[in-house]
Amino acid sequence: MNKVLGIFSLAMITAVSVDSIRNLPATALFGSSLIFFFVLGALFFLLPSALVSAELASSRKNHAGVYGWVKDAFGQQAGFLAVWFQWIENVIWYPTILSFVAGTIGYLISPSLASNKIFLISIILCSFWGVTLINLMGIKSSAWFSNFCAVGGLILPMALIIALGAVWIFSGDPLQIHFTKTSMLPHMKDSHMWVALTGIILSFCGMEIATVHATNVKNPQRSYPRAMLIATLIIVTTLVLGALSIAIVLPENKISLVAGIMQAFHAFFFAYHMHWVLPIVALMLVTGGMGSVNNWIIAPTRGLLFAAKDGNLPKHMQRENLAGAPSTLLFYQAIIVSFITMIFLLMPSVNASYWLLTALAAQLYMFMYLLMFTSAIRLRYCGNTSGGFKIPGGQTFGMWIVAGAGIIGSLTTLAVGFIPPSNIRIGGELHYEMLLIAGLLLMSLPPFLFYRFCYKSR
């Protein structure tokens, strides 16, 4: 295939995939202590995943992304399990990002629509099927759409909300949070505060997502490390400052997980008599949300396609159209997302549905990252590299430190994911945990069934 992706495109695909303005309300709920959790998440997850992804993508001869890395380390069945977790996590995550898009549109029309389940479901389904059609047109169309959305839907609105937050602080306007030592450090005995880690770690997931495009990258040994560095700096800076901008202007109990961004912009523009800007901002937010979904639709699906071609899935799932897109998998994905979206009808509130899907997606993704980090350690002992970036620290010491930090962060996120947030009405702790456990079991079972009936029958 053509080498159509350079450093800028690679950095933008990664940044837009990971850095999403829709994550800001979930982290803003925790006030000034979010800084502590962002630093913790960066040290024990973002940096390890970025460094490991850069090394594996630039030095391994296998360009199948997570599937190829785990397959080389632990065998084909483990590789299939890893890429399945990456793919199914995204299938569950799509309704959450698109509920943000729907909430933005609804808030602009009428704020009450942001909590109307039927309206949200309708917008989610129309948006997802629309972006699926874009990806059926091939990687070049997908990359162009991603670049457009990165600038118009992420960089501009993120810069705007950060600037408004800075103006708010320096103008002496009243703050909803305080930047004192006591407020910035969480109480370690308060288990509910650690729930913040789930939302923050999920907002850092995806540094490996662009590696599946290795065959389309110009000079991957040089491009991947630089793109990862650029993307990491953009992600950390914008997420911390953006979340703080929301937290300073909105009371904690007023923040909506699906419409919090629009609430914050409305508060800023109302104070500065700039209501006319709100529709423009809403359009940018919708653009950014669609760009994020666009990136995540094609990359994990292409990773799953590599596994399908190794016989892990039925033959009809290996089909690609004339544009090189995995058409059958994309259609199946859209159908599954349509069914999962109906969970908004099962939970007592939109916020509860949003958080349940977020926690389920985060835990499934942590399974994949545990496989990725352990594979990186094992591959250091196996050799078979083609040059490229290497994590410093000798043959294995540096990798053990970096990947070990990632493993600790992943295991911690798995544990705290079972703690329901106290500030969201979820319908009872037992109800929440049973739905979460049922979701984990249901979503983890298919790869074992596929392996038994597809791979072993060859």
Q: How many CA atoms lie within 13 A of 292 on its CB side?
A: 31
Residue 15 CA to residue 12 CA, distance in Å, equals 5
CA atoms within 13 A on the CB side of 263: 26
Q: Which helix or strand (DSSP H or E) is residue 316 part of?
A: none
pLDDT confidence of residue 92: 85
Question: What is the percent of the chain with per-residue pLDDT over 70, rounded to a whole number?
Answer: 84
The sign of the torsion formed by the CA atoms of 298, 68, 377, 364 equals: positive
Whether residue 428 contacts residue 374, with contact meaning beta carbons closer than 8 Å, is answered with no
Instruction: Quote the CA–CA distance of 212 and 301 in Å, as a whole number.
Output: 10
CA dist 414 and 366 (Å) reads 7
DSSP track, 192-209 = GGGGHHHHHHHHH--TTG
Find all residues with CB under 8 Å of 225, minimum gap 6, and list them: 54, 58, 388, 389
Q: Contact at 8 Å (CB) between 124 and 118? A: no
**Confidence check: pLDDT of 456 > 70:** no
Q: Which residues pair with 60 in a beta bridge?
A: 385
The pLDDT, as a whole number, for residue 189 is: 61
CA distance linking residue 342 with residue 359, whole number of Å: 17
Residue with token string 């590789």:
79
Mean pLDDT score across all residues of the chain: 80
Residue matched to tokens 């995540």: 296
Looking up tokens 């992304």 gives 65
Nearest C-alpha neighbor of 382 from the set 50, 56, 47, 53: 56
SS3 at position 385 = strand
Rounded CA-CA distance 226/234 in Å is 13
Q: Which residue type is seen at 25?
A: P
Q: CA nearest 21: which of 190, 165, 173, 193?
A: 165
Using CA atoms, how far residue 76 sits from 303, 304, 317, 408, 449, in Å, is 13, 12, 18, 25, 15
The pLDDT score that the predictor gives to residue 400 is 93
Residue 191 clears pLDDT 60, i.e. is over it: no
Domain boundaries, the chain: 7-455
Contact yes or no for 364/88 (Cβ under 8 A): yes
Joined together, the tokens standing for residue 134 give 């874009």
Q: How far is residue 303's CA from residue 82's CA, in Å, rounded to a whole number?
A: 10
Give the per-residue pLDDT at 162. Answer: 92
- pTM, full prediction: 0.79
107 within 8 A of 25, measured Cβ to Cβ: no
Q: Residue 60 belongs to what H/E stretch? A: none
d(CA 250, CA 265): 10
User: What is the rounded average pLDDT of the residues 42-48?
Assistant: 88
pLDDT for 413 equals 87
Q: Contact 87/332 with Cβ under 8 angstroms?
A: no
| 90 compared with 148, residue with greater pLDDT | 90
How far apart are alpha carbons 319 and 276 in whole angstroms?
48
| Cβ pair 16, 381 in contact under 8 A | no
The span from the CA of 358 to the CA of 197, in Å, is 12
The percentage of residues in the chain with a pLDDT greater than 90, rounded to a whole number, is 9
Residue 1: pLDDT band (50, 70, 90) is very low
User: Which residue type sits at 95?
Assistant: P
pLDDT given at position 367? 94
**Top-level CATH class of 7-455?**
mainly alpha
